[in-house]
A = this chain, B = another copy of it.
């Protein structure tokens, strides 16, 4: 049960208002997609949910209790600019997510526990398509590979709330479809709510139970004086319910050929 409630939240940097009076209610186990123009405050909103920043006004509660004042194991995150640990190999990065909560003293697992965790990590690494790169350091990975590594790391923890900031932006359609499948399977099987920022409307509607569009009100040039508000809030239909069946991810079994071009663009949100 992880109902997130955002009440009249404002966020300001100096005299620039970024978020303006946002109120939202996320049901337990919802999969929310957050869309909106670049620079409107989506990342900022995630940072609030992560307790990385505190709202200038308003409050956020989880299951009725105020949001913990610091980031914690209950909320996993994949940052927009893929941030992995440069001093650990791919395997080390993913393994870390198992070691940190389990070995409170040494931060390392040994023996059977380690073997189990390593198996799990290797499986996850393979699922995000990084098999074979287990022993590489992040500096030797491509951009998309780093992004997938960050995702595997966050998924390893199976957090109750997963915050994703454009996690699939640097992935090609093939691997992206694979990972969509992985995400949905995890969402169905684990007790998990997801808030995902994306610019891909199709992705939003394919994965999410609800799509929320932020938008900044305009008034002449003086745009910066107004913060973003919730412009649209769409329940996806037919309803998807976590744990009930594995609805096929459309992209996966799509018969369309790669040459099939010229199809229409998902238009920009009416701004």
**A residues with CB within 8 A of B:** 13, 35-39, 43, 80-81, 129, 131-133, 140-145, 147-148, 166, 169-177, 199, 201-202, 205-206, 213, 221, 223-224, 232, 234, 236, 250-251, 254-271
Contact = CB atoms under 8 A, between A and B. Distances in A.
Contact of A254 (B43, B131, B232, B264): B264
28 contacts: A13-B140, A37-B174, A38-B144, A38-B145, A38-B147, A38-B170, A38-B175, A43-B142, A81-B81, A132-B224, A166-B169, A172-B268, A172-B269, A173-B266, A173-B267, A173-B268, A173-B269, A175-B268, A176-B199, A176-B268, A202-B265, A205-B261, A234-B259, A251-B264, A255-B267, A257-B270, A263-B264, A263-B266
Contacts of A80: 143, 170
Contact of A261 (B147, B202, B269, B270): B202
Contacts of A171: 38, 199
